[in-house]
Structure 1
Amino acid sequence: MSPVDVAGDGEGTAMQHSSLIERVNGILARYRRHLALVLIPALTLAGLIGGLTTAALLVAAATQLIILLWVTGYGSSRAEAADDAPTVKSRDHLDDVLANLPPNTQSAALVVRIDSAARIKDMHGQRLSLALQDALGQQLARALREQDHFCLLSDDGFGVALCPQRSVDVGAVLSIAQRIQTRLSQPFRFEGLTLWPSVSVGFCLSPRAAALNGIGMLDAAQQAAAKALNSGPGGISSYSVVDFPAAVSADTIGGLRKALETGEIHAFFQPQVRTATGEVSGFEALARWRHPERGLISPAEFLPQIEAAGLAANLATCMLRDAMTTLAKLDAAGYRVPTISVNLSADELRNPRLADEISWELDRNDLTPDRLTVEILETVVADSDEDVAVRNIARLAGLGCGIDLDDFGTGHASIANIRRFAVGRIKIDRSFVTRMHEDEDQQRMVSAILSMARHLEVLTLAEGVECAEEQVMLAQMGCHHLQGYAIARPMPAEDLVGWLDAHNAALACGEPWCEDSEQQKTASRA
């Protein structure tokens, strides 16, 4: 893409030609099906008038295209030239969109902050700062869809509200954030000076998480953007009550504590399989709340409350107990499942008695440590210093427990930390796996992660596998394990034997073990 140009009075013919070429290229890219109707007359004109300059030919071609589009009803307004880009809205409009979502729809709020905005203003003055803001606003409009909404928040930021839709997941929002960063990082020219801007992005997916702090989604995204800005140029951060703790009422805390003690909150299990053979290599324990009156409550609703209530350690105890008990029962029934995985947050890893409790739970169920895999978020590995969490991870690895690095690619874990924490397997985040069979950028990212893992001699597991095409491509690229709705949805412990029987029977008969149905794809976005 050509640089964003804000030409001064002294810019010459070359700058005009560049701007004209950029406009024509943009128009041609948008209306490819009219290309033949434009090029034939343009080429004829070139042959008849050999003395015309390139710029004149471009004017002729662009003029014919604009006339043709006007005649056919497409028009040539600035909005249409920008690919039906959204127009700038007010902050109140965005807040209204996010606060009044239609039933059964979701949205996301994003805040885009210009890195080093204050320094740019100090060095180059208010006029350049405002010109940069205007140019980035235009680029942001091109990065969004017409139905999305955005506004100017301050002299160094923009707010975005995505169009309400049935489902919005973190992978999709990360892709949008990265697309915004790519668009807004184009070189910016102003009166002979060239800048290479960068932006940081914060986003909020859950109105419930924001409401716990008594704020709206856009305010929550602003807090996340401030965190991203502080983490370095080009940062991306999501909002959660883990990062921005909220006050939870005594009644809510009491209800959560009771749910944990009575088993209303307990583990569901999602299978993990070997890519090459389809054989089950393990299960991941995932927290679910089966409320006696409200039914199954989404983890997105109660997990932030548990974190805010300081009950994360209680949840970890429940998950470990359920995981070990379930694995022992499967062993007793003759089903050899190699390992079971349990997620541990940063707060849970700071429990000084964690390693002792896990060791006792393994002994109580007559299980060896290698049957348990502890999943640790990449952000925990990236941020941990020499403290209780570090010692706990080292003790668990010393016991023989597996260490998985979860959501790899979304944090900033160094290779040194992967070695330091004795990571045995990297879990490739679902944001890189989703639609990778259709997206070359996704393929390159996954290929780079797999290549790094091979050189580090660690195993890999791809999360969020939704279709057979993704499974085939991951197998061809050398990924070791798969997990996702295309394999199976998380299920209660009592359903595991039935699923294992059906899965093993399919393998024995040579039947497909990776689903590719519309039902599974719909379920994966629920």
Structure 2
Amino acid sequence: MPETSFPSPKPGSSIEGYIRSIGRYYIGIAVIMTLLIGATYLTVKIALDRHAIQQEISFLTNQKFIRFQQLVQQTRAIMSASADSSLPLGVIQPMLDEVETAIIDIRAVMKRLRTVRSRLDSNLLERASRQSPATEALYVDLDRRLEDFLSRAESIVAANHEDRQRRYTYWGPIDFSVSADSLLMRQFSSIIQHANNRSETSIGNAVSISTALLLMLAVLFILASVLLFFPLLMKLRSEHQRKMEFEHRLTHLSQTDPLTRLKNRAYFSSALNGLLYRYRKSGTGFSMLLIDLDNFKSINDGFGHPAGDATLLHVARAFQNAFQANDVIARIGGDEFAILLPDIDDEVRLDTIANRAIEALSVDFSYEGKILRTSASAGGAIVPIHATDEAGLVRVADLALYAAKASNSDAFIFDEETLAARLEQNELALALADAAQRDEFVVHYQPKVDLASGSHLGFEALVRWNHPTLGLLAPGAFLPLMEGPQPIGDMTLAVIRNVCRDLKAWKAANLSPGPVAINLPEALLINEHGFEMLASTLSECGLDWHDLTIEVTEDVFLNRQAEQMRASMTRFREQGASVSLDDFGTGFASLLHLRDFPFDELKIDRGFVADIGRDSRSEQIINAIIDLSRNLGKSCIAEGIETEAQRQFLLEAGCTTGQGYWFARPMPSSDVTKRWLKQHSAVEAN
């Protein structure tokens, strides 16, 4: 068969296109195989037909030969009986009838043989292997000789009894011995042998041709397997492997945080359910940690999102080094992480591991030439000590995390006291939402004084919450519970109204309160809402912008909307209000920020003031801040002064203004009025 080329799979080729190409060749091979099978069937059928005809010829020839021998014997018997005058004619007549029947049978067989031989001549294999002319002549000569003998036998049957008697007396059995001579016998024998040989040849031809065709089918099947099906199977296997790898990658991506390559929330939830299932089956406990970064927003806003991403990668590496390989580490939010520890069910070990992880991520790391540092808080819970279901475990771990943040500790493992405190804080948060509408926010004032003379210079307004049942609460007890700009805005508006109302009353009493510092949150600096709030309240109370000082924290420098805040502070200053930068030195402000942002005074944080006389580094920082403010042409004020030594150090360092318990505690407006009246009476008495 002609050589056929088949396509081979190409790397990256489409499996659908490859299968279509293979399909076309498969159809061709299927057609060829069908033709070969049909040819095999036809060949076998023709060979078997030829064999059947040869067998029939052999059978008829044998039958003719047998009848011929019977005819010879019967004819001789008639001739012999005719010669015996003692036999009656009634005995000879049946013998004559048998001879006639034999003649008819032999001629019928001869006729049938001629028909069968004509069928044999039309057989394809017979025509392909045409018998020799000598064989044809043998058939013709045998039929001629046999017909001659039959004619002789017929003449004997047709003759009367006297003729047969005379003939037999004259010729005797010689007549039929000649008729049935040895040549005729040899011809019969040759034809019978030839028929048998042709039959065997037919079978041999059928076997040979069928074998050849079947070998061709086998070769074609092997070629199809090697050139078509085997490459197709390899291609399908390769495609299956690629599909499995792709599905594995998809599964990995769907369960992996794209930035840190840690597990994501979906995987964490699945793993948590798996550990809970294990606990229900075997009673094996485990632990969970929730970890939240403390200053991620400041880094993200101050140095940009790439720095935030670098921080998250630093934290991820720290966690991977701090935890075991079988621990599940997941990033479940922007700066929120969760860890499952399958083999930890002991509070002491969990606390040790949590603190070790917090310590690992708190080390300095470099980003584009800058040294950054982050910190975190962790809350832990254990199954089955603290909870036995997903919702309960997450809730108590979250309570522990909140407790860690509230207590400024690195890690906190859940306990019942934490739950009670959290429930109390939830109640506070609910009450806090409507505190402004119930007019429960009050303002206390802490005086600002001249450090040299002690004379009054102004106030800082400090908010308090006058809770209906808990009494007066300091900001640290409720400000962390405020979420969203609306509650913060409502509280700030209440503070502004109280301050302006008190300023109006003091001025009406001919008192000189000086400017009052009000802290404005970022939510009111990023738009005009804070300015409009102040402007409308000042207008209602008939006050001037010079009566206020706007305090902002260092965080405004790092906010992504710092430009809007800069515009708001510039607008305050243009109206006549001064701007104070609170808690300076505790955040990420740089000299570039100090140069570009509009402000009038720097406030030294109480943390540095508290270390005066105890930590020389804090004293050096204070000196640097005072020098910096002087060189920038800004005033400087220190907060948190509680001792005479602190006042004296600050005064000698060049700071002229301060506030703190050494001078006065924050007090309500009524106490401020009484204090002034008392001072006024003392002056008059002198």
Higher relative contact order (CA 8 A, sep 6+): 1
RMSD: 4.4
Distance in 2 (CA, whole Å) between partners of 1:198 and 1:403 is: 29
Aligned to 2:487: 311
- Paired with 1:211 and 1:325, the residues of 2 have a C-alpha distance of 44
- Of 589, 597, 600, 1:413 maps to 589
Match of 1:364 among 517, 521, 540: 540
1:281 pairs with 2:482: no
Which amino acid in the other structure matches residue 435 of structure 2? A
Question: Could you say which residue in structure 2 is the equivalent of 1:215?
Answer: 399
The reply to whether residue 459 of structure 1 matches residue 660 of structure 2 is: no
**Residues 1:299 and 1:150: Cα distance change in structure 2 (over 3 Å):** same
Q: Secondary structure at the match of 1:262?
A: coil
Candidates 509, 516, 539, aligned match of 1:340: 516
Name the SS of the counterpart of 1:370 in structure 2: helix
With over 3 angstroms needed to count, the CA separation of the structure-2 counterparts of 1:486 and 1:449, relative to structure 1, is: same
Matched residues in 2 for 1:409 and 1:453: separation?
A: 12
Q: Is 2:458 the counterpart of 1:293?
A: no
8 Å CA contact retained: 1:349, 1:389: yes
Query: What is the 5 A alignment of 1:398-477?
Result: 398-477=574-653
Counterpart for residue 329 of structure 1: 505
Q: Alpha-carbon deviation of 1:495?
A: 0.8
Partner of 2:293: none
Deviation of 1:255 (Å): 2.8
Assess, with a 3 A threshold, how the Cα gap between structure 1 residues 154 and 258 changes in structure 2: closer, same or farther: closer
Following TM superposition, by how much is the alpha carbon of 1:381 offset from its aligned partner in structure 2, in angstroms? 2.6
- Counterpart residue identity of residue 561, structure 2: D
Query: Would the alpha carbon gap of residues 359 and 211 (structure 1) be closer, same or farther in structure 2, given more than 3 Å must change?
Result: farther
**1-structure distance, mates of 2:573, 2:548:** 10
Aligned partner of 2:129 in structure 1 is none
Q: Distance in 2 between matches of 1:265 and 1:365?
A: 19
Preserved CA contact (<8 Å) 1:278 1:507: no
Do residues 391 (structure 1) and 567 (structure 2) align? yes
Superposition pairs of residues 148-297 of structure 1, within 5 angstroms: 151-153=352-354, 157-158=358-359, 200-202=374-376, 214-217=398-401, 255-297=431-473
Whole-angstrom distance in 2 between the partners of 1:204 and 1:493: 41
Tell me the distance in 1 between the aligned counterparts of 2:542 and 2:318. Answer: 63
1: distance between equivalents of 2:457 and 2:480? 30
Instruction: Flag the structure with higher helix content.
Output: 2
Q: Does the residue aligned with 1:153 lie in a helix, a strand or coil?
A: helix
Which moved further from structure 2: 309-318 or 327-336? 309-318
Alignment partners' CA distance in 1, 2:632 and 2:561? 22
Maintained 8 Å contact 1:150/1:159: no
Alignment of 1:78-117 (within 5 A): none
- Deviation for aligned residue 1:304: 1.8
User: Could you tell me whether the CA contact under 8 Å between 1:273 and 1:282 is conserved in 2?
Assistant: yes
Q: Which amino acid is 2:352 matched to?
A: C
Does structure 1 retain, via aligned residues, the 8 Å contact 2:603–2:637? yes
Q: Secondary structure at the match of 1:261?
A: coil
Cα pair 2:550 2:579 within 8 Å, conserved: yes
> Counterparts of 2:684 and 2:590 in 1: how far apart (Å)?
42
SS at match of 1:403: strand
- Asked if the contact 1:270–1:286 (Cα under 8 Å) also holds between the matched residues in 2, the reply is yes
**Equivalent position of 2:172 in the other structure:** none
Residues 299-355 of structure 1, C-alpha deviation per residue, up to 9 Å, x if partnerless? 222112233584001111111111111111111111112200101111122343221
Could you give the per-residue CA deviations for residues 127-155 of structure 1, whole angstroms, max 9, x where no partner exists?
xxxxxxxxxxxxxxxxxxxxxx9734388
CA distance in 2, matches of 1:507, 1:403: 33
- 2:499 corresponds to 1:499: no
Contact 1:378 1:405 in 2 (8 A): yes
Cα distance between partner residues in 1 of 2:541 and 2:470: 33
Find the aligned partners of 2:540 and 2:409 in 1 and give their Cα distance.
46
- For residues 430 and 313 of structure 2, the distance between their equivalents in structure 1, rounded to whole angstroms, comes to 43
Partner residue, 1:51: none
Contact preservation (8 Å) 1:204, 1:217: yes
Distance 1:156 1:375 in 2: 37
**Distance in 1 separating the partners of 2:552 and 2:657:** 17
Cα 1:114–1:354 change in 2 (3 A) is closer
Residues 432 and 446, structure 1, Cα contact 8 Å, conserved in 2: yes
The residue type paired with residue 566 of structure 2 is: V
Q: Which amino acid aligns with 2:375?
A: V
Cα drift, residue 379 of structure 1: 1.1
Shift of 1:287: 1.0
Query: C-alpha separation between the residues in 2 aligned to 1:291 and 1:379?
Result: 29
SS at 1:423 equivalent: coil
1:458 positional shift: 0.5
C-alpha distance in structure 1 between counterparts of 2:542 and 2:659, whole Å:
27
Instruction: Return closer, same or farther for 1:213/1:468 CA change in 2, 3 Å cut-off.
Output: farther
TM-score (norm 1): 0.52
Distance change >3 Å, CA 473–CA 424, structure 1 → 2:
same
Larger radius of gyration: 2
**Bigger shift: 441-450 or 252-261?**
252-261
Give the letter aligned to residue 216 of structure 1.
Answer: A
Whether contact under 8 Å (2:441, 2:495) holds in the other structure is no
Q: Secondary structure at the match of 2:558?
A: helix
Deviation at 1:391, TM superposition (A): 2.5
Alignment partners' CA distance in 2, 1:285 and 1:198: 34
The amino acid of 2:467's aligned partner reads H
Aligned residues of 2:428 and 2:478 also touching (Cα < 8 A): no
Whether the 8 Å contact between 1:153 and 1:159 is mirrored in structure 2 is: no
- Give the whole-Å Cα distance in 1 for the aligned partners of 2:484 and 2:603: 26
Question: Following the alignment from structure 2 to structure 1, what is the Cα–Cα distance between the partners of residues 482 and 396?
Answer: 12
Structure 1 position 463, deviation (Å):
1.0
Between structures 1 and 2, the one with greater strand share? 1
- 1:38-117 to structure 2, matched below 5 A, reads none
Question: Are residues 199 and 345 of structure 1, via their aligned partners in 2, closer, same or farther at CA, if it must alter by over 3 Å?
Answer: closer
- Structure 1, unmatched stretches of 5+, are 1-90, 96-112, 127-148, 161-179, 186-196, 227-247, 511-526
Does the residue aligned with 1:216 lie in a helix, a strand or coil?
Answer: helix
In structure 1, distance between residues paired with 2:400 and 2:663:
36
TM-score (norm 2): 0.41
Quick check: 1:115–1:198 contact (8 Å CA) kept in 2? Answer: no
CA displacement, residues 397-428 of structure 1 (integer Å, 9 cap, x when unaligned): 21111100011011112233234331101111
**1:208-240 per-position Cα deviation (integer Å, ceiling 9, x unaligned):** xx9999332488559x999xxxxxxxxxxxxxx
Q: 1:508 to 1:307 in 2, by over 3 A?
A: farther
Write the distance in 2 (CA, Å) between the matches of 1:389 and 1:217.
32
